[in-house]
Structure 1
Amino acid sequence: MSDESPICSAKGCRVAAVWVLAWNNPKLHTPERRKTWLACDEHRESLSQFLAVRGFLKDVVSLDTWRADHPAP
């Protein structure tokens, strides 16, 4: 992730993201791999449910926590 203000991954949403939804598709990714979607407060639940129903959702953390745990190279 860059230092730009990240925006929500929900279709059409341009609101600042405050959540990171870490996920992977076990048919495509190794178990330790994490892809990410970003979410604003309004879309956190709907995006989480979309991933959870498919068995993809692994974790939901605040953007600040994610950045602290995964510093940019």
Structure 2
Amino acid sequence: MWVLAWNNPKIHTPERRKTWLACEEHREHLSQFLGVRGFLKDVVLLQEWESSQNP
């Protein structure tokens, strides 16, 4: 599983991160969807995301 971290700069503060989970099959499509809108901030494996959130 992958975590797509994003925010909408029109309504979120710069440090705010919303997340979507994606399987390998859908990761690229969802990344492109968010990227075209300028929302995508990061794409990381779920294990890495969990490790970074709970040091």
Identity within the alignment, %: 76
Aligned pairs for 1:5-20 (under 5 A) are: 18-20=1-3
Q: Does the alignment pair 1:40 with 2:23?
A: yes
Unaligned runs of 5+ in 1: 1-17
- Consecutive aligned runs of 4 or more in structure 1 exceeding 6 Å deviation: none
* Distance (Å, rounded) in 1 between the aligned partners of 2:47 and 2:6: 18
Greater Cα radius of gyration, structure 1 or 2: 1
Gaps of 5+ in 2: none
More helix by share: 2
- Partner of 2:41 in structure 1? 58
Task: Say how many residue pairs are matched.
Answer: 54
TM, length-normalised to structure 1: 0.73
Normalising by structure 2, report the TM-score: 0.96
RMSD: 0.4
